[in-house]
């Protein structure tokens, strides 16, 4: 049965907390300094704990829960598949795996008709890079400083954000570059068009100085996710495509966070008039109900492995339970008009409210985004654009952001905060009423940011 809501259960709360603290080693954390919130259940855009609190989830967990908690169609599809064939190894053909691969290729650009399935985003990135290196015979990969590509060996090296640092020195065949970011442009551009032109000049210079003969791939998030919800300015992605063509470089679009509806498109690059060679996906393909990711491959690259073996594989590649949830996702998207809904809610509800917050709160430097994927960038001073907290702040330096998050949680909203930003990324199935309620909570929490900025 689908659980229906929060009930205080102090005994369960204590037990869950005790087992977790004693035995679960958590990601990205100093183990003694964290206090993970016990979660009892969830439905739709909300989840609840054992203390009687229900939270509206404005982060969709890790921006993966696109269809919300306990979607009945996804749960039923997994249950039915578990009753039929719970697992099968990847070198056998399987109905649900083939069905999902066909559906993915139907919404991908023409000329991309093969899918390699993985367990998540990082291993999708690993395998896309491997394909690019094999088909070009060139090992170096370019990635943006403001990026996250996953936490396996190559993926964390490609990642531009500080999560890379602890892994260094690493495999040297990666170089980083500045992508467009008009609000903090290292190019000092005065307009989006100028930002595009200068960012492309910088990328071409990087290619030339790193050596086009050494570079096998460029990997780019189509809309940069965790590092700021950076929507590319007009012409940037097509410009990257042109540079890849000129220098014989494979263009990998990392769609792990933005693919499958986050901005109201199947793939975010489809809003920017470009076709990559390889697409990595995960998260939204099945809302993370069972781990799944993959690489969508251009026919030209796929053909290179027609008579030469592709040297890669995973025991759970195309796991039937994960694929069943993926097929159900496609059915829900079509039946409920999810993409149209995201575009409508983004333009009609989220954007005007965030713009009003930017006008009202002195601490809001910029709001930006598309669909149900937005960032509120907070500053101490709108003139100098000094961030509300320093880059990569933690502990006491990050206290203002912790206070904003606490103000949201107190009112029943689970926010996504990162560095000096509050992101807005609710499940795509959120009701309009809940969306407005959540935005109102953020609006009130920004009073905390204003006071912190005023010092």
Tell me if 224 sits within 8 A of 147, measured CB to CB: yes
Please identify the residue of the shown chain whose CB is closest to the bound ligand PMP.
121
Residue with smaller CB distance to ligand PMP, 149 or 319: 149
Collect all residues with Cβ–Cβ distance below 8 Å to 378 and sequence separation of at least 6.
363, 364, 365, 387, 388, 389, 400, 401, 404, 420, 421, 422, 446, 449, 453
Query: Whole-number minimum distance, CB 256 to ligand PMP, in Å?
Result: 3
Distance of CA 223 to the CA centre of its chain: 9
Tell me if 325 sits within 8 A of 67, measured CB to CB: no
Residue with smaller CB distance to ligand PMP, 147 or 189: 147
Query: Whole-number minimum distance, CB 124 to ligand PMP, in Å?
Result: 7
Query: Whole-number minimum distance, CB 155 to ligand PMP, in Å?
Result: 7
Nearest to 401 by CA among 384, 370, 379, 383: 379
Query: Whole-number minimum distance, CB 301 to ligand PMP, in Å?
Result: 19
* H/E run at residue 387: strand 386-387
Note the residues at the interface with ligand PMP (CB under 6 A): 62, 120-122, 125, 148-150, 221, 225-226, 254, 256-257, 282, 293
Query: Whole-number minimum distance, CB 224 to ligand PMP, in Å?
Result: 8
DSSP symbol at 349: I
Q: Provide the pairing of β-strand 112-118 with 140-144.
A: unpaired
Residue with smaller CB distance to ligand PMP, 203 or 223: 223
Query: Whole-number minimum distance, CB 198 to ligand PMP, in Å?
Result: 24
Residue with smaller CB distance to ligand PMP, 151 or 214: 151
What torsion do the CA atoms of 134, 140, 145, 151 make, to the nearest 10 degrees? 50
Residue with smaller CB distance to ligand PMP, 78 or 124: 124
Calculate the alpha carbon distances from 77 to 69, 82, 89, 96, 116 in Å. Answer: 14, 8, 20, 11, 22
Residue with smaller CB distance to ligand PMP, 294 or 387: 294
């Amino acid at each position: 049965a689908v659980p229906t809501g929060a009930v205080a259960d102090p005994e369960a709360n204590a037990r869950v907390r005790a087992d977790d603290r004693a035995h679960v080693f958590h990601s990205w954390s100093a183990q003694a300094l964290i206090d993970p919130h016990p979660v009892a259940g969830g439905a739709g855009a909300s989840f609840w704990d054992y203390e009687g609190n229900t939270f509206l989830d404005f982060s969709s967990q890790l921006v993966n829960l696109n269809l919300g908690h306990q979607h009945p169609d996804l749960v039923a599809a997994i249950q039915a598949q578990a009753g039929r064939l719970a697992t099968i190894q990847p070198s056998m053909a399987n109905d649900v795996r083939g069905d999902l691969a066909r559906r993915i290729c139907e919404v991908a650009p023409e000329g991309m008709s093969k899918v390699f399935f993985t367990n998540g985003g990082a291993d999708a990135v690993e395998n896309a890079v491997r394909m690019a290196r094999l088909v070009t015979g060139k090992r170096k990969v370019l990635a943006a400083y403001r990026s996250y590509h996953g936490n396996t060996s190559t993926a964390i090296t490609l990642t531009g954000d500080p999560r890379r640092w602890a892994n260094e020195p690493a495999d040297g065949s990666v170089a980083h570059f500045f992508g467009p970011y008009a609000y903090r442009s290292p190019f000092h551009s005065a307009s989006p068009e100028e930002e595009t032109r200068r960012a492309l000049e910088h990328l071409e210079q990087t290619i030339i100085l790193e050596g086009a003969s050494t570079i096998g791939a460029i990997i780019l998030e189509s809309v940069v996710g965790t590092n700021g919800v950076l929507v590319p300015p007009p012409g940037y992605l097509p410009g990257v495509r042109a540079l890849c063509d000129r220098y014989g470089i494979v263009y990998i679009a990392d769609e792990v966070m933005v693919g499958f509806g986050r901005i109201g498109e199947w793939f975010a690059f489809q809003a920017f008039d470009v076709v990559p060679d390889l697409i990595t996906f995960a998260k939204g393909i099945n809302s993370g109900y069972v781990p799944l990711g993959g690489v969508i491959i251009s026919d030209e690259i796929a053909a290179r492995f027609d008579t030469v073996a592709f040297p890669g594989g995973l025991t759970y590649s195309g796991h039937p339970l994960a694929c069943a949830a993926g097929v159900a996702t496609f059915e829900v998207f079509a039946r409920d008009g999810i993409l149209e809904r995201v575009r409508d809610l983004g333009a009609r509800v989220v954007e005007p409210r965030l713009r009003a917050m930017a006008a009202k709160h002195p601490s809001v430097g910029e709001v930006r985004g598309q669909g149900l994927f937005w960032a509120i960038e907070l500053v101490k001073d709108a003139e100098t654009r000094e961030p509300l907290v320093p880059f990569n702040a933690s502990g006491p330096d990050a206290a203002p952001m912790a206070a904003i998050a606490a103000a949201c949680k107190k009112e029943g909203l689970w926010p996504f905060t990162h560095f000096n930003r509050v992101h807005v990324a609710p499940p795509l199935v959120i009701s309009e009423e809940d969306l407005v309620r959540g935005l109102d909570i953020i609006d009130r929490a920004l009073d905390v940011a204003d006071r912190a900025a005023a010092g």
